[in-house]
Amino acid sequence: MGKLYIVSTPIGNLEDITLRALRVLKEVDLIAAEDTRRTKKLLTHFEITTKITSYFEHNKFSKIDKILESLHLGDVALVSDSGMPTISDPGYRIVHASLELGYEVVCIPGASAVLAAVAVSGLPTDAFVYLGFLPRKTLDRKRTLHNNATDTRTLIFFESPHRLLDCLIDVHRELGDRHIVIAREMTKIHEEIYRGNVIDAITHFEQGLIRGECTVVVSGNISLEHEKWQADRVLLHLNNAIHTGQTLSSASREIAKKSGWTRQEVYGLKLDK
């Protein structure tokens, strides 16, 4: 039985790949790549000739059995188009299936846009929430932001360049004019790290064409960190949590952590209604 290696690749600068990652990519029997064209450029640059196959969002179900068959015969490396595989990509399905079948899964850590952006943000890093890619539709995006508006932890998410301005407008409406950091084209020649408030960010990015994927870091809601919520606010967040599938007990416990209420009080409020 082979091993499944989760191999992090550079998010821009090819020098950011690790020596261990290069060795593993040379030694495995197969590389499963989210974007074979991009991965082939990486392999060619480092003179790696390992066989490669595609595995991405639209073929994840048809390809997974073939990849597992290859894993039965030898080692397989899983890579995304950049950064750490399985983070906001379908690679986690292979990991889950491999573990269920008893295969060993080994992580080869390296570059990560999420960690790189929060590290240079200057915002609190002791606790943060990763929201992945925000929804494309305005109402869904605003709902996601609204549901995280009272969180005191730093918020991190990805956004495409052509939706960035609309996203920033929604951030201002739902979260207010907070401190924000927008990391664009990280580790590449035209890298930009914008730091400021949301309103200033909107003005800045209105000036010209936005290129490259963006990692956005937003400060948490510090103003509510020590403020006890009113009952109607507690009930609103409790109803939203239950609507998304959380149990009453789980939702009560989470809301109690940030509302100033005890879990029993939150739980009782829902029962009273």
Residues 29 and 69 in one domain: yes
Non-local CB neighbours of 60 within 8 Å, separated by 6+ positions: 90, 93
Distance CA 52, CA 35 (A): 10
The predicted pLDDT at position 52 comes to 96
Contact between 144 and 135 (Cβ < 8 Å): yes
* Domain stop point among 88, 111, 134: 111
- Per-residue confidence band for 273, with pLDDT thresholds at 50, 70 and 90: low
Residues 80 and 133 in one domain: no
The predicted pLDDT at position 259 comes to 82
Residues 210 and 166 in one domain: yes
The predicted pLDDT at position 22 comes to 98
Percent of the chain whose pLDDT exceeds 90: 70
Residues 18 and 106 in one domain: yes
Name the burial class of residue 69, with classes exposed (0-12), middle (13-18) and buried (19+) by CB atoms within 10 angstroms of its CB: exposed
Mean pLDDT of the 220-236 span: 78
Residues 187 and 172 in one domain: yes
Count of alpha carbons within 13 angstroms of residue 182, beta-carbon side: 25
The predicted pLDDT at position 257 comes to 75
* Domain stop point among 111, 132, 160: 111
Tens digits of residue pLDDT in 40-67: 999 999 999 999 999 887 777 778 999 9
- Per-residue confidence band for 230, with pLDDT thresholds at 50, 70 and 90: confident
- Per-residue confidence band for 219, with pLDDT thresholds at 50, 70 and 90: very high
Residues 85 and 147 in one domain: no
- Per-residue confidence band for 208, with pLDDT thresholds at 50, 70 and 90: confident
CATH number, residue 197: 3.30.950.10
Count of structural domains, the chain: 3
Tens digits of residue pLDDT in 152-173: 999 999 999 999 999 999 999 9
Residues 171 and 182 in one domain: yes
Residues 119 and 190 in one domain: yes
- Per-residue confidence band for 226, with pLDDT thresholds at 50, 70 and 90: low
Residues 216 and 259 in one domain: no
Residues 107 and 119 in one domain: no
Distance CA 232, CA 242 (A): 15
* Domain stop point among 111, 136, 164: 111
Domain containing 256 equals 231-272
Residues 100 and 138 in one domain: no
**In this predicted model, which residue has the larger pLDDT, 115 or 268?**
115
* Of residues 117, 137, 75, the one with CA closest to residue 215: 117
The predicted pLDDT at position 56 comes to 80
Q: Is the pLDDT of residue 112 over 90?
A: yes
Residues 96 and 15 in one domain: yes
